[in-house]
Amino acid sequence: MRTTKRLWTAALAVGTLGALSACAGGAGAGSSTPTPEDGAASGSVTMWTYPVIADEAAHKAFWDEQVAAFQEENPDVDVKVEIYPWAGRDETLATAIAGNKGPDVVYLIPDQIPKYGKSLAAVDNYVTDQVGDLRENASKAVTVDGAMLGSPLIMNSKPLVCNAAAFEAVGEAGNYPETWDDLMALAPTFQAAGYDVTNYWGSVDATLNESFYPLLWQAGGSVFSEDGSSVAFDSPEGIEALQFAVDLAEGGYIEKDLLTTIPAFEQTNTAKGKIACTWQQGPADVAGFWGEENVVVLPPLKQAEAVAFGTVGSLSVLKTAENLDAAGKWAAFATSPEVSTEYAKAAGWFSPYESESGLYADDPVLSALEDTLQYTTAGEVNEKSREVMGVLAPEIQAALIGEKTPEQALKDAAAAANPLLG
Domain extent listing, the chain: 43-157+310-377, 160-309+380-420
Which one, of 201, 180, 197, lies nearest residue 393 by Cα?
201
Could you tell me if 96 and 102 are in contact, meaning their C-beta atoms sit under 8 angstroms apart? yes
Task: Quote the CA–CA distance of 93 and 97 in Å, as a whole number.
Answer: 6
Q: What is the CATH code for 43-157+310-377?
A: 3.40.190.10
Residue 173 three-state SS: coil
N- to C-terminal Cα separation, the chain: 46
> pLDDT, tens digit, for every residue of 115-153?
999 999 999 999 999 999 999 999 999 999 999 999 999
Quickly list DSSP for 282-337: -HHHHHHHH-GGGEEEEPPPBSSSB-EE--EEEEEEETT-TTHHHHHHHHHHHTSH
> pLDDT, tens digit, for every residue of 339-364?
999 999 999 999 999 999 999 999 99
State in words which class domain 160-309+380-420 has.
Answer: alpha beta
Please, which residues have CB within 8 angstroms of residue 207's CB and are 6 or more apart in sequence?
Answer: 16, 17, 18, 19, 389
Q: What does residue 299 show for φ and ψ, rounded to 5 degrees? A: -60, 155
Task: Quote the CA–CA distance of 142 and 378 in Å, as a whole number.
Answer: 9
Confidence at residue 31, expressed as pLDDT on a 0 to 100 scale:
55
Q: What does residue 150 show for φ and ψ, rounded to 5 degrees? A: -165, 160
Please, which residues have CB within 8 angstroms of residue 192's CB and are 6 or more apart in sequence?
Answer: 170
Predicted TM-score of the model (pTM): 0.90
Task: Calculate the CA dihedral of residues 186, 209, 234, 199 and round it to 10 degrees.
Answer: 30
Residue ranges in the chain whose pLDDT is less than 50: 1-30
Q: Is there a common fold for 43-157+310-377 and 160-309+380-420?
A: yes
Q: How many residues does the chain have?
A: 422
Could you tell me if 73 and 40 are in contact, meaning their C-beta atoms sit under 8 angstroms apart? yes
